Structure 1
Amino acid sequence: MRLTDLLTPKAVVTSLKATSKKQLLLELSEKAAEISGLQAREIFDALLQRERLGSTGIGEGVAIPHGKLGKLKNIFGIFARLERPVDFDALDNAPVDLVFALITPESAGADHLKALACAARMLRDPAMVATIRATRDPGALYSLIAHRSQPHAA
């Protein structure tokens, strides 16, 4: 699975404004609703339900919130770089400024785990994360992610 299987250029946000974890999840849900045609509230509830099990803040300023929805047909993602980091109850207690939200069908099973692993691999690479943080243009950021997700990319 490649990140380009999950992400479209319009699903990349380079300067998301949020002042809290809840507001961040709400903003991501609204963007996901635009892309999927589903209700933002339904997406928000799924993300929030997962966060109640434990934070999806994986450390180093990165979070991978995810939720499952019965009405959804295909897995998709939203990538956001925040204007200012927010407290996300991350494992290392560091505030989060990079977020890859995944929305998957309830029936996704192994594909849900593959998608999470794919996003985590990219966001655990310190050089990639530094480049992402320095990239301000959404198109350039999408291209960077697309290049990184190719099998030959480092």
Structure 2
Amino acid sequence: MTAQFILLPDAVVTVKLDSKSAVLDMLASLFASTYSLDKDTVLARLTEREQLGSTGFGRGVAIPHARVADVERPVAVFLRLASPVGFDAADDMPVSLVFGLLSPEQAGVVHLHALAAISRLMRDDKMHAALSEAPNDEALYALIANVIDRTAA
């Protein structure tokens, strides 16, 4: 079995943002620069999905996601926010960990499997704490990549 999604080291950053729209804009910028995608298209798709209902997952986590034509397989970005941002999450908690996911336009079950993998990762209490406390972006990437590699084996 292969990993459910691709996550490159450059797609993991700690950043200070002040709103949900700034988070979505940063996600789109990071997807564009890391995976050579069109920022405006990505932002439009993420915003459309968010308008259907918040992707605030609870426990300070959001998983904004969308399907985009220019993606060949699921790709991810990860933001750790320097201070929590309101995200209209079901539990009303602001978010500080944001996992973005883009999948191919026709990726039905593949998209769902990738979302499920991220959801499992973010529900793990030890992982949640480790991501919150990691000293830098390299450590964040190593934590996530280690789990991705384990589940792909």
Q: TM-score, normalised by structure 2?
A: 0.93
Identity of aligned residues (%): 42
Give the SS at the match of 1:151.
Answer: helix
Q: In the alignment, does 2:78 pair up with 1:79?
A: yes
> Relative to structure 1, is the Cα distance of residues 112 and 130 closer, same or farther in structure 2, using a 3 angstrom cutoff?
same
List gaps (5 residues or longer) in structure 2: none
Q: Which residue of 2 aligns with 1:33?
A: 32
Report the alpha carbon displacement of residue 72 of structure 1 after superposing the two structures with TM.
2.0
Report the alpha carbon displacement of residue 144 of structure 1 after superposing the two structures with TM.
1.1
List gaps (5 residues or longer) in structure 1: none
CA distance in 2, matches of 1:37, 1:136: 28
Q: Which residue of 2 aligns with 1:65?
A: 64
CA contact (8 A) 1:2 1:118 kept: no
Q: TM-score, normalised by structure 1?
A: 0.92
- Runs of 4+ residues over 2 Å off in structure 1: none
Give the SS at the match of 2:71.
Answer: coil
Aligned pairs, number: 151
CA RMSD of aligned residues (A): 1.6
* Residue identity opposite 1:75 in structure 2: P
* Residue identity opposite 1:63 in structure 2: A
Equivalent residues in 2 for 1:135-146, closer than 5 Å: 135-146=134-145
Equivalent residues in 2 for 1:1-154, closer than 5 Å: 1-2=2-3, 5-13=5-13, 15-149=14-148, 150-151=150-151
* Residue identity opposite 2:94 in structure 1: P
Give the SS at the match of 2:7.
Answer: coil
